[in-house]
Amino acid sequence: MSLFSLLINGGLSAVGAVICYRLILTYIPIFIQRKMYGNDQSKTSNDPVPEPMGVICAAVYLIVMFIFIPVPFFEWVGSETEFPYAKLLAILSGLISISTAILLGFADDMLDLRWRHKLLFPTLSSLPLLMVYYVSGNSTTVMIPGLLRHLIHPFFDLPISVNISFVYYIFMGMVIVFCTNAINILAGVNGLESGQSLVISISVIIFNVVQLIRVDSQYWHHLISLYFLLPFTACTAILFHFNKYPSRVFVGDTFCYWSGMTLAVVSILGHFSKTLMVFFIPQTFNFIYSLPQLFHFVPCPRHRMPKYDGKSDTVSMSKAIFKKSELKSLGKLSLFIFNLVGLLEKREFEKDGEIWIEINNLTIINLVLKFSGPMHESRLNQVLMGIQISCSILAFFIRFYLASLFYDVVN
């Protein structure tokens, strides 16, 4: 039955991809006519680019998932076997969280929400999912790394696992908030938001398939993850086709929140939320690197996207300029550390009797441009996608080799 469900899901995903393609072509002129567009600041032309087109693909995705809901439960129709209500609740709670994330993203596109709202709403969106996780009696036990047990063993014995109870729910809530914002923070290049989401979703699909082949004890949980991911990947692939350089559409914050929430939902329902974070290595680095500006320890301009040079048709790292007196203590410490390890382009100069500081904006995009120098936008996206793919390969190495190695140290 599971194979039949996956085939139906794959077929619906393919249909959803075709519908997405046709709807995007249809709505490009409609969005422009209704003034729902932006201008690409990394192009010499000032042609309008429809935004937020991600809402179209998100709507198709939800329709596909709603149609698919009964399929995994056909075998229980007319059967005397007890209906698996917990499994149905898991799917419904995941869809509720994804739907609210799409609503938040669309509201952000229309109303330009403040950062405190972007942190609050995903937290509220996670409550249905976490509540179902709790009432379904799912585990909050985590394995203690074998290497740690081995190092501490001479002093005292650590258990193989420990139940961290409500702390695990806090962790899962933080995963949801992080994922819904991480992709939104790493943006500003044609095809980057949709491209990184596509790479991560394909990577997670491969992970789930491997676990299913290994006849993992969490069989249903990896299956439900695939149910959510196959339609998402199909719709995102079509969106990437239109969003890659030269971008014909912008995905908008709607897509970023939808993408992040979907990946977070499948990791929680699939019981691999810790593994998911390994696939988010570039986003995690970008978030940590951006923290001084995100929390305004260092002055942060409204846009941190690369600076475009129309003469050479290349982009270079954008910079923030501010008075040294505006720099807070944590900001000074952050810049000192970044400069010490070679992650900062910094210049001090005097103007109007005051000391000013010029630094590169703290994003992984500008960091790549710091080391590489100016490059064409399409080339920059290829480099960033290469980093994402390389990190996914590293994630598989960590998950399937290092994890088992640490376990074998003790055993």
Tokens 């570039």 label which residue? Answer: 282
Tokens 């596509």 label which residue? Answer: 198
pLDDT in tens, 165-203: 788 888 888 888 899 889 988 988 999 999 999 999 999
Confidence band, pLDDT 50/70/90 cuts, at residue 86: confident
pLDDT of residue 401: 79
pLDDT of residue 139: 67
Between the CA of residue 247 and those of 28, 35, 149, 369, 393, what are the distances in Å?
12, 17, 51, 20, 28
Residue 320: strand pairing partners: 359
Whether 150 has a pLDDT exceeding 80, the answer reads: no
Q: What is the DSSP letter of 307?
A: E
C-beta atoms surrounding 123 within 10 Å: 14
Whether 145 has a pLDDT exceeding 70, the answer reads: no
pLDDT of residue 1: 55
Whether 147 has a pLDDT exceeding 70, the answer reads: no
Helices (H), 315-376: 329-340, 364-372
Between 123 and 312, the higher pLDDT residue: 312
pLDDT of residue 83: 81
Whether 148 has a pLDDT exceeding 60, the answer reads: no
Report the pLDDT averaged over residues 378-393: 95
Report the pLDDT averaged over residues 154-166: 67
Are residues 270 and 218 in contact, defined by beta-carbon separation less than 8 angstroms? yes
Residues 273, 5: Cα–Cα separation, whole Å:
24
Report the pLDDT averaged over residues 245-250: 91
pLDDT in tens, 50-59: 988 999 999 9
pLDDT of residue 134: 81
Are residues 258 and 160 in contact, defined by beta-carbon separation less than 8 angstroms? no
pLDDT of residue 239: 96
Length reported for the chain: 411
Which positions ≥6 away from 224 have C-beta within 8 Å? 87, 90, 91, 94, 266, 269, 270
Question: Which one, of 328, 327, 326, 342, lies nearest residue 289 by Cα?
Answer: 342
Whether 408 has a pLDDT exceeding 80, the answer reads: no
Report the pLDDT averaged over residues 7-19: 96
Report the pLDDT averaged over residues 218-232: 91
Report the pLDDT averaged over residues 375-401: 93
Residue type, position 355, single letter: I
Whether 301 has a pLDDT exceeding 90, the answer reads: no
Supply the mean pLDDT for the chain: 86
pLDDT of residue 111: 79
Whether 308 has a pLDDT exceeding 60, the answer reads: yes
What does the radius of gyration of the chain's CA atoms come to, in whole angstroms?
23
Are residues 407 and 149 in contact, defined by beta-carbon separation less than 8 angstroms? no
Are residues 132 and 90 in contact, defined by beta-carbon separation less than 8 angstroms? yes
> How much is the pTM?
0.91
Residue type, position 390, single letter: S
Whether 409 has a pLDDT exceeding 50, the answer reads: no
Between 345 and 111, the higher pLDDT residue: 345
Residues 82, 66: Cα–Cα separation, whole Å:
23
